[in-house]
Amino acid sequence: MSSSSYSSSPCAACKFLRRKCLPDCIFAPYFPPEEPQKFANVHKIFGASNVSKLLNEVPTFQREDAVNSLAYEAEARLKDPVYGCVGAISVLQRQVITLQRELDATNANLFRYAYNEMPPLRPPPPPPSSAAGQSSGFSYPYQWNDPSDEDNERSSGGNM
């Protein structure tokens, strides 16, 4: 159902912003009126003007993906104002590391069986998951590759 035609109902963005939804409204294809919460979240976290600027910088065929990712990040930030979606990234990163470690241990076990025919060892318990660099029990996947940022983060507001 098209929401961008002049005669149809305004898109969720224009409804929220209480303005006329023009035919060339940049939000209309991605914020249908049936999903008011989507735009409300995005507007609350990022702001409509920022979203508009971001969409203008992205090719048309990728705008929907961009909007969806913004909506996801906005919802994540609303649910977790401290970490937002970065919390999920950190958790997944740790899981990858743990899984890789267990896989390596199991592979080593399998080699023992295959080539030595010895009883397999139980995989060693994973070491404590406190990764290096945690200041608050929360590990970031990576530091932004800005040396001054890293130095300043360590010295000033990065860790509390």
Partner 1 sequence: MTLKSGTTSACAACKYQRRKCIPECLLAPYFPADQTKVFQNAHKLFGVSNIVKILKSLDPSQHAEAMRSIKYQANVRDKFPVYGCLGVIRQLYYQIQLLEEEFHSVLSQLEMYRQYHHEVPSQLELGMAPPTNGLHFLTAVPDMPVSMQHSYSNSNNIGYCSSYVDSKDHNNNNNNSNSNSNNNNNNNNSLWIQHPFLATNNSSSSNSNENNPLMAIQSQLLVSNTQPLVIQHEVVQDYDELHPFFDTIDDRQSFIHSKEPYDSSCEDSAKETTQAIELVPNNELKNAAACFSLTSVH
Residues 72-131 touching partner 1, rule: CB under 8 A, are 72-73, 75-77, 79-89, 91-93, 95-100, 102-103, 106-107, 109-110, 113-114, 117, 119-120, 131
What H or E segment, with its residue span, contains residue 37?
A: helix 36-45
CA distance 130 to 100: 16
Q: Whose Cβ is closer to partner 1: residue 22's or residue 58's?
A: 58
Q: Whose Cβ is closer to partner 1: residue 15's or residue 73's?
A: 73
Answer for which of 6, 19, 146, 154 binds partner 1 (CB under 8 A) is 146
**Size, binding site for partner 1 by CB under 8 A:** 85
Q: Whose Cβ is closer to partner 1: residue 22's or residue 88's?
A: 88
Contact 15, 46 (CB under 8 A): no
CA distance 140 to 157: 15
Considering only CA atoms, give the Rg of the chain: 24
| In the complex, least distance from residue 122 CB atom to partner 1, rounded to whole angstroms | 10
| In the complex, least distance from residue 57 CB atom to partner 1, rounded to whole angstroms | 6
Q: CA of 49: how far to CAs of 13, 17, 93, 97, 147, in Å?
A: 11, 11, 33, 39, 31
Q: Token digits for 16?
A: 């929220």
Q: Whose Cβ is closer to partner 1: residue 7's or residue 61's?
A: 61
Q: Which of residues 20-59 bind partner 1 (CB under 8 A)?
A: 29-30, 32, 34-35, 38, 44-47, 49-50, 53-54, 57-58
| In the complex, least distance from residue 143 CB atom to partner 1, rounded to whole angstroms | 7
Q: Environment class of residue 12 by beta-carbon count within 10 Å: exposed (0-12), middle (13-18) or buried (19+)?
A: buried
Kindly state whether residue 156 participates in binding partner 1, applying the rule CB under 8 A. Answer: yes
